[in-house]
């Protein structure tokens, strides 16, 4: 049952762009926006189409042109990411405020591209080799520090596409198979001291909101909640806090889920997600992340209307 909305004189029209209406994160974002009196709708990007012409930028749903909303909450999943990004871009061109911009989302979807950007800003990441040619396998294994090694597909998520090779021989055979299939692979040093646990930090508007420590179960090395990992609220060291906030900033993400390991040589960023799941983090920390997101959009819109008033 939904609680009736608060009366809101500054109600915003909001579109949540998510391919699954029933997903926990989508439901929570809807719920919090609705409770604050906003006019909120959920649209699966795959059911939207966009049209452009000179002086025309339109968005259609079920053959009907839809009104541009004040703001959008875009969620990017594994389903049709490129198409979803085109839809988000259309909203941006129509000047709907967005929780995350499409360019930053596209950038962070590619794990290696994000690592390049992070490294350029002197944010520490695990040693990573990216290769396409079979001839480079031995060098990659050597430079990434030898076995055990992590092998990663650049656009995997929820732990799928991340493999642990215990020996050089198994690293070689997995790389052989994947490269032969035309798949590029990241060869990464295995951070052993993580012992199957890592930290997921939520950053919003440049600030750390909350964080959880995730631990893998059944000897898995991947701590993803989708793989059955367990989680608890955690504090970050000052150094880690600085690293996650900076990571979100250099990737241009307003809202981000940053995965990191606090290693012997300091925090190492594993990846930065533009559409972090809310179930695990809200459950583990008790922090209302969905409400934070809605309030952030309210702030964005207030700033926008102020800017419009003074003509800046």
Nearer to ligand ADP, 117 or 270 (CB): 270
For ligand ADP, the closer CB: 82 or 135: 82
For the bound state, the minimum distance from the C-beta of residue 50 to ligand ADP, rounded and expressed in Å, comes to 28
From residue 269 to residue 288, the character string flagging contacts with ligand ADP as x (rule: CB under 6 A) and all else as - is: -xx-----------------
Report the distance separating Cα 301 and Cα 119, nearest Å. 33
Cα 87 to chain centroid, rounded: 17
User: How far are the Cα atoms of 160, 212, 245, 284 from residue 219, in angstroms, in the given order?
Assistant: 16, 20, 31, 21
> What letter would DSSP give residue 125?
-
Nearest distance from C-beta of residue 54 to Mg ion, angstroms:
42
Q: Please name the residue that has the structure tokens 């795959």.
A: 46
Shortest distance, CB of residue 308 to ligand ADP, whole angstroms? 39
Residue 107 Cβ, how far from ligand ADP at the closest point, in Å? 15
* Contact flag: residue 191 with ligand ADP (CB under 6 A): yes
Taking CB under 6 A as the criterion, the residue among 26, 224, 274, 275 binding ligand ADP is 224
Q: By C-beta, is 212 or 297 nearer to Mg ion?
A: 212
Nearer to Mg ion, 33 or 149 (CB): 149
Question: Which DSSP letter does residue 47 get?
Answer: G
Phi and psi (nearest 5°) for 199? -120, 135
Distances in Å between the Cα of 269 and the Cα atoms of 25, 77, 140, 199, 263 are 24, 21, 20, 10, 10
Pick between residue 259 and residue 282 the one whose CB is nearest to Mg ion. 259
In the shown chain, the binding pattern of residues 150 to 169 toward ligand ADP, with x for contact by CB under 6 A and - for none, equals x-----xxxx-xx-------
Query: Which residue, 256, 300, 307, 293, is CA-closest to 70?
Result: 300
**Residue among 40 and 269 whose Cβ is closer to ligand ADP:** 269
For the chain, helix, strand, coil in percent to 5 are: 40, 25, 35
Asked if 198 interacts with Mg ion (CB under 5 A), we say no
Distance of alpha carbon 176 from alpha carbon 161, whole angstroms: 15
| Gyration radius of the chain's alpha carbons | 21
Q: Residue 239 corresponds to which tokens in the numbers above?
A: 């150094």
Q: Which residue of 25, 98, 101, 188 would you call a contact of ligand ADP, by CB under 6 A?
A: 188
Binding mask 245-284 for Mg ion (x = CB under 5 A): --------------x-------------------------
Binding to ligand ADP by CB under 6 A, coded x per residue (else -) over 98-137, reads: ----------------------------x-----------
Q: Are 212 and 205 in contact (CB under 8 A)?
A: no
CB-closest chain residue to Mg ion: 259
- Annotate 168-179 with b (16+ C-beta within 10 A) or e (fewer): bebbbebbeebb
Query: Between 117 and 162, whose beta carbon lies closer to ligand ADP?
Result: 162
Q: Would you say 221 and 164 are in contact if contact means Cβ atoms under 8 Å apart?
A: yes
Q: Which residues bind Mg ion (CB under 5 A)?
A: 259
The residues that touch ligand ADP, with contacts defined as CB under 6 A, are 126, 150, 156-159, 161-162, 188, 190-191, 194, 198, 221-224, 259, 270-271
């Amino acid at each position: 049952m939904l609680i009736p909305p608060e009366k809101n004189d500054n109600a915003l029209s909001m579109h949540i762009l998510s391919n699954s209406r029933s997903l926990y994160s989508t439901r929570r974002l809807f719920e919090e926006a609705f409770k604050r009196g906003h006019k909120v709708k959920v649209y699966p990007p795959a059911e939207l189409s966009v049209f452009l012409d000179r002086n025309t930028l339109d968005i259609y749903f079920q053959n009907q042109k839809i009104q541009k909303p004040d703001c959008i909450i875009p969620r990017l999943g594994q389903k049709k990411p490129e198409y979803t990004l085109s839809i988000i871009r259309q909203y941006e061109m129509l000047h709907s405020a967005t929780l995350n911009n499409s360019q930053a989302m596209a950038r962070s979807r590619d794990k290696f591209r994000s690592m390049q950007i992070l490294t350029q800003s002197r944010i520490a990441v695990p040693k990573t080799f990216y290769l396409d040619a079979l001839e480079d396998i031995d060098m990659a294994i050597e430079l990434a520090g030898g076995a055990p090694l992590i092998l990663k597909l650049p656009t995997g998520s929820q732990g799928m596409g991340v493999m642990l090779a215990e020996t050089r021989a198994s690293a070689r055979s997995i790389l052989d198979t994947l490269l032969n299939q035309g798949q590029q692979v990241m060869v990464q040093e295995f951070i052993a001291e993580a012992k199957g646990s890592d930290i997921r930090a939520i950053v919003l508007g440049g600030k750390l909101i909350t964080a959880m420590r995730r631990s893998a179960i059944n000897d898995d090395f991947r701590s993803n909640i989708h793989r059955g990992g367990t989680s608890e609220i955690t504090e970050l060291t000052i150094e880690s806090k600085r690293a996650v906030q900076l990571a979100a900033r250099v990737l241009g993400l307003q809202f981000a889920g940053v995965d990191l390991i606090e290693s012997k040589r300091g925090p190492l960023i594993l990846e930065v997600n533009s559409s972090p799941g809310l179930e695990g983090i809200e459950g583990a920390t008790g922090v209302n992340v969905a409400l934070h997101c809605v309030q952030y959009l309210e702030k964005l819109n207030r700033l926008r209307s102020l800017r419009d008033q003074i003509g800046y």
